[in-house]
Amino acid sequence: MKYKIIIAGLLISGLLTSCQDLGDEYFDTPAQSTLGDEIIFSNAELAQGAVDGIKVSFGETDSYRGRLLAYQGLNTDTEWLLASSSDNVKSDLVVYNAKADNTEMNAARNVWAMMYEGIERANLCIRGLRTYGNVTSNKQLAQLLGEALTLRAIYYADLVRNWGDVPARFEPVSSATIYIPKTNRDEIYKQLIADLGEASTLVAWPNETSATASTEKVNKAFVKGLRARLAMMASGFQQYPDGVRRSSDPALSVDNMYKLALDECRSVIASGSAHLEPTFEGLWRKYNQESVVAGGESLWEIPFGDTRGRMLYTLAVRHDSPDQFQQMGTNKGGVNGPLPFVFYDYDQADTRRDVTCVPYKWGTAVNDKAKQELTDLQTWYFGKYRFEWMNRIVFAPSDDGVNKIYMRYAEVLLIAAEAANELEGAGSAAVYLKEIRRRAFAPGDQAVKVDAYVNLLTSKQAMMDAIIEENKYEFTGEMERKYSLIRWNLLKTKLDEAKVKMADLKARKGDYADVPSTLYYKYKADEVTLEIYGLNRGETQVPGLGYTSKSWDKLEDNKITTLYKAGVNPDKRQYWPIWQIFIDGSNGQLVNDWVFGN
């Protein structure tokens, strides 16, 4: 019986794109499985299967797995598709030049459809649990209702931040709602914020119950953190049909939303149910080792099975061939990476730098064993994702099965800092910023790099500028920064700054005048791992014997200029267009209009 809801979700997903093939009489018939719903949603085990079915849509072939997570959040002032300079449909998605007929996305089973499939499954679960679940007295069913509300909010949040205004259904689809126009996102935000408020009363804290022992299950800390994130988005700058502005809805004012966000973050912090991992490298090693134990830094992860998901396949340090760390095939990882100057923007003592920015790949294996090989100045990889840190070797050709961290505790701290700064001043924000930076620097550096640094941030603007920078140092490679730049009204400003920084780095002038133009390297005793001299500013002396030199100055002009498409204003293309196949199947309800401004 528990599979009935999943089948219904699949069926209705198909109706969303090809409903003209079925008459309205389909929706006018009585509910097809009322008795089945009562059995399913009054039984915790069966209801769990139905709610788990909501998450299936994340892993479908052209959904989050192979489309959204490969392109979402690119390009920014810290992250880009390494092939952004290529003139094709893939680069169009990230250089703010996407068209509705983009062949990478314009398909019936694209992520847009899969999101609505997940939403429909959630709607069915929410209705079933409210009707039959007796959630006021059954904590297991209450947890499941809270999880269903949260999963629906995740799908809608990702729809809004990638497409702006989108159709919204908060009840299972009917003949009256099968064709609907876009909904003002302000109304969606308010519904999601209310839903997450309810969900936070239904779900348990991390590890409070067996249902919240895994980061693949929704817990109260995540729900509150996500609610805070959405509150900041809802009150922030964003592109509306009449321009880039904040919402004019009084309910979504800065005062209201920042207070809500700060209250939720402080609730999570005070709970003690989550915490920063002791070291930044330890956090990412734990991630690649696929630990899903709740109560640490990862608040919730999109769960992928071993043969679904492409996080490392897309984002990891590149491997030219199968080797001692992965057997997926050739050219795995290294599709996206940090911009060339990001490494040099970090403080040299910041332990996040070498984890985030990697200047080497794993070359072609000899006798099944690969070595690290230096790349070039314009080609860096995200070191947060590494096959070499996994506990298993991946053999599937296309999917590594590693989860996507959807939110971590560090974001709760930075949202708290930002909201506290706005509402209460820099002094209230300092404690949260210090906690983030304390993890980033060794104890011997903290007096200067943490305490003295933060204590000088006495004005609201100085603190805000520092928070914007800290966001970069903490989250580069996680493809969240674009949405922060949008709500700060800094998207084009920071992209233009990034172009200038790359030009200055290439010319070794301005802030990058002391970046060495020659690297020296040799292999350590293991004959696999590189020892590199010249990456740090000022390292210009020729090191001792045994080193090989390499020019470190390749940064092509077309790489710099194609961070975003020439002639395009990213602030007027903050969102993707709705793909043509969904417009054609909308019975005239959906259109692309303001999305295509220059």
**Per-residue pLDDT of the chain in tens (598 residues, 90 and over written 9):** 223 333 333 333 333 333 333 333 333 333 445 559 999 999 999 999 999 999 999 999 999 999 999 999 999 999 999 999 999 999 999 999 999 999 999 999 999 999 999 999 999 999 999 999 999 999 999 999 999 999 999 999 999 999 999 999 999 999 999 999 999 999 999 999 999 999 999 999 999 999 999 999 999 999 999 999 999 999 999 999 899 999 999 999 999 999 999 999 999 999 999 999 999 999 999 999 999 999 999 999 999 998 899 999 999 999 999 999 999 999 999 999 999 999 999 999 999 999 999 999 999 999 999 999 999 999 999 999 999 999 999 999 999 999 999 999 999 999 999 999 999 999 999 999 999 999 999 999 999 999 999 999 999 999 999 999 999 999 999 999 999 999 999 999 999 999 999 999 999 999 999 999 999 999 999 999 999 999 999 999 999 899 999 999 999 999 999 999 999 999 999 999 999 999 999 999 999 986 555 6
Burial of 179 (0-12, 13-18, 19+ CB in 10 A): middle
Q: Single out the residue of 193, 186, 150, 147 nearest to residue 168, CA to CA.
A: 186
User: 520: which strand partners?
Assistant: 533, 549
Burial class (CB in 10 A: 0-12, 13-18, 19+), 174: exposed
Alpha helices by DSSP H, 460-572: 460-475, 481-487, 491-507, 557-561
How far, in whole angstroms, is CA 358 from its chain's centroid? 20
Q: How far apart are CA 106 and CA 88, in angstroms?
A: 14
Structure tokens at 45: 């085990």
Beta partners for 332?
Answer: 319
Q: Tokens 């947890």 — which residue?
A: 143
d(CA 221, CA 224): 5
Q: Given its phi and psi angles, is residue 283 left (phi above 0), alpha (psi -120 to 50 degrees) or beta?
A: alpha
Dihedral over alpha carbons 298, 303, 305, 307 (to 10 degrees):
-90
Coil, strand, or helix at residue 381? strand
Three-state DSSP state, 530 = strand
